[in-house]
Amino acid sequence: MSDSPDILEPAADSGPGLGLGEPPQPAAPESAQPYRVLARKYRPQSFAGLIGQDAMVQTLGNAIKRDRLAHAFLLTGVRGVGKTTTARLIAKALNCVGPDGEGGPTIDPCGTCEPCVAIAEGRHIDVVEMDAASHTGVDDVREIIEAVRYSAVSARFKIYIIDEVHMLSKNAFNALLKTLEEPPPHVKFLFATTEVNKVPVTVLSRCQRFDLRRIPADKLAALFRSILEQEGAEAEDEALALIARAAEGSARDGLSILDQAIAHGTDGVTAAQVREMIGLSDRGAVRALFGQLLAGEAQAVLATIQEQHDLGTDPASLFRGLLETAHGIVRAKVGGADDPALSAEERAAFADWASRLGFAPLHRIWQLLLKGLHEVETAPMPLEAAEMALLRIVHAAGLPDPGELARKFESGEMTTAAAPAQTGSEKGGGPQGAFPPTYAAMVKMVADSMIDDESWRTAQFLERDVRLVRYEPPHLVIHPTKPRDEEFFRDLGRLLREETGQAWTVETSDERGEPSLLEQEQAALNAERESILQSPMVKAAFGAFPDAELIDYKLASGGAA
């Protein structure tokens, strides 16, 4: 696990920082400390320095005050939110003796007593840290089991911090269970993991669990600004917002990027340098591209994609920027709280789009962008996949909204007049746009479409396993007697649209409806057979030959057998 800096003050043992733009310094003496990266230099030294973990700190504070300390704690969360740091702070809180050496456990360790200093420097004999990634076996755990029998040498509690605990083997976990459930009163276990789902339930049930939260982007940006002031460096607000977004809630990741950005720039940290450094798309270019997608400008879209690619922008990053834009517009439309990391230009653009776009097209664009992002991330040619996905959105932007079409049909603004006819060679049927006069004719049209084998199976299902509730082209309401998924009915609507040239709506209903076509056909055959059996001639024949059977019959043109 990791160094997880979430503080506003540097560590007590931190060395001098590198100031940006400072005059050259003379060569440092050999005894000077080497440069320490920001992620280690600004590691929290107290619970007050943790960012975004107020609930956990309050719970621990109350437990210490009321002497209700658990014997094992499990700290989980994404990388860089402070799991290892929190474990060390808990160790300090439990073993602090205060400046006068008479203090007890406290949520505010002094940081100056011998236990606090030794734990901060990682040299306390009673605070043992173990990396489970490199000590996975039962023998490693057996050493802990043997050692817990002995009291602490100089501290109040003997504490075992096991990092990435999910890496322990099954046998190692099983060996630890008994000791973990009933440890000696002088022992505390602190576990940390990024993959809590891999920790056995038997272990989880024996621990008090704390889920460390992702740090909000605005708090990360404020942290970075404070650290830059202490480092004597400058940065644009947009640059810090970009770094905070790229960190995805991890203080350590953000500080690593910030460290790199300070070294990358020569005149402060700028947004352009950050984008170039980590391959982020320019947010202004993303907004321009989003506008081109809405306008259906295919050539402009291709030119923008190529321009961003030439600048080193990852196509997947471009799609994430478009997704953020669509999300921001929807939030603006529903009146959600403004993202403090957004610039004034972004807020104005989002508000303008929100006033002009409906929810339906925004959600459609969101789904298309999600699909495009997946294609880009998995395609062997990401740039080409990005172009194809965005051109698909351009095409969709020019299509009429289905809801608006339905409204126009209902209001009479649009009629179901037949479209221009196609030849039989073009479509294998009659004129496209002409609706079949009956449900049975529609099923026959589906069967004769010859698009693929699936259309024949669809026709069989409609004939055998569907009861008609209402047939009002282009509106079809049916009651399936066998379950089919929603995709089947969407495909049916698509097939009908291709055959008639008009958009269909296919709905299912709980109403029983008419008998299926197969049931109707069978009923007609049974009625016909019964009518023959009841005819005088056939009755007379059966009277003369009681064991006779009606095997087959043929009706004359007048209906007689």
Q: What tens digit of pLDDT does each residue of 281-295 get?
A: 567 788 889 999 988
Rounded CA-CA distance 256/85 in Å is: 16
Angle between the N-to-C axes of helices 344-356 and 283-295, in degrees from 0 to 180, rounded to the nearest 10 = 10
Most confident listed range (172-176, 312-316, 429-433)? 172-176
pLDDT at 402 (0 to 100): 59
pLDDT at 486 (0 to 100): 77
pLDDT in tens, 22-68: 444 444 444 456 778 888 888 888 888 888 788 888 888 898 888 88
The CA-atom distances, in angstroms, between 121 and each of 14, 38, 116, 262, 517 are 11, 17, 9, 27, 83
Rounded CA-CA distance 10/12 in Å is: 6
Cβ within 8 Å of residue 199, ≥6 positions away: 74, 165, 166, 173, 191, 193
Q: Are 435 and 473 in contact (CB under 8 A)?
A: yes
Q: Are 481 and 516 in contact (CB under 8 A)?
A: yes
pLDDT at 517 (0 to 100): 85
Is it the case that residue 425 has pLDDT exceeding 50? no
Local confidence band at 523 (pLDDT 50, 70, 90 cut-offs): confident
Cβ within 8 Å of residue 280, ≥6 positions away: 242, 246, 274, 313, 317, 321
Q: What average pLDDT does the segment 470-496 reach?
A: 83
pLDDT at 322 (0 to 100): 92
pLDDT in tens, 339-379: 655 667 778 888 888 888 888 888 889 999 999 999 999 99
- Taking only Cα atoms into account, the Rg of the chain, rounded to an integer number of angstroms, comes to 36
Lowest model confidence (mean pLDDT) among 143-157, 169-183, 263-277, 362-376:
263-277
Percent of the chain at pLDDT > 90 equals 14
Is it the case that residue 556 has pLDDT exceeding 80? no
pLDDT at 337 (0 to 100): 62
More confidently predicted of 4 and 470: 470
More confidently predicted of 273 and 12: 273
Rounded CA-CA distance 345/189 in Å is: 51
Is it the case that residue 462 has pLDDT exceeding 60? yes
Percent of the chain at pLDDT > 70 equals 82
Is it the case that residue 129 has pLDDT exceeding 70? yes
pTM over 0.75: no
More confidently predicted of 236 and 340: 236
Mean pLDDT (the chain) is 80
Q: What average pLDDT does the segment 499-521 reach?
A: 83
H helix or E strand, kind and range, residue 97: none
Local confidence band at 161 (pLDDT 50, 70, 90 cut-offs): very high
